[in-house]
Amino acid sequence: MNSQLFFHNAKNWDDTTLLAHADLMMGDRLIGEAPEYTLEQWLRCDPLWPHVFDAPAYAHLQSTLDAVQVMPDEENRFNALKAVFSQLMADATLTPLFNYHYRISAPPGVNGVRLTPRGWFEFTEAWLPAPSQ
């Protein structure tokens, strides 16, 4: 097996010629305060997707997004978009990877959470206790 790794040091794809030959692509999308809009626009506008899908599948994705976008009820629209992403994940077309760092300001050992020398904590240790009844 022969493989090559290319790093694209930018937030957006400037040149999509390499994408046409890629077997695996990793990208970063900051979702922010309007996740539904951001994720829908990512599927609709990012030049990555035409290289991931064949033409009929890409056209189907776009028509599905069109149908979702015109749904008058916001909750139904968000649920339909969630279903689109769930299907992409079920098909192994999309696999979300999370790599976030959280920093807290608190004395060491609060609620059993230990901070590293730089103020970070092990996220798996940061559980809040259930409310007492």
Q: What is the pLDDT of residues 92-116, one digit of tens each?
A: 888 876 655 555 565 666 666 666 6
User: With pLDDT > 90 as the criterion, what percentage of the chain qualifies?
Assistant: 28
* Summary mean pLDDT of the chain: 78
pLDDT at residue 19, rounded to an integer: 73
Query: Is the whole-model pTM more than 0.85?
Result: no
pLDDT at residue 66, rounded to an integer: 96
Compute CA distances 97 → 44, 89, 131, whole Å: 20, 12, 31
Please tell me the distance from the alpha carbon of residue 72 to that of residue 87, in angstroms, as a whole number: 22
Asked if the model's pLDDT at residue 9 lies above 70, the reply is no
Residue 8: pLDDT band (50, 70, 90) is low
More confident residue, 76 or 126: 76
Please tell me the distance from the alpha carbon of residue 14 to that of residue 47, in angstroms, as a whole number: 9
Query: Amino acid identity of 41?
Result: Q
CB of 113 within 8 A of CB of 125? yes
pLDDT mean over 74-100: 86
Residue 11: pLDDT band (50, 70, 90) is low
pLDDT at residue 132, rounded to an integer: 66
Asked if the model's pLDDT at residue 26 lies above 80, the reply is no
Compute CA distances 68 → 1, 44, 55, 102, 104, whole Å: 41, 12, 20, 34, 38
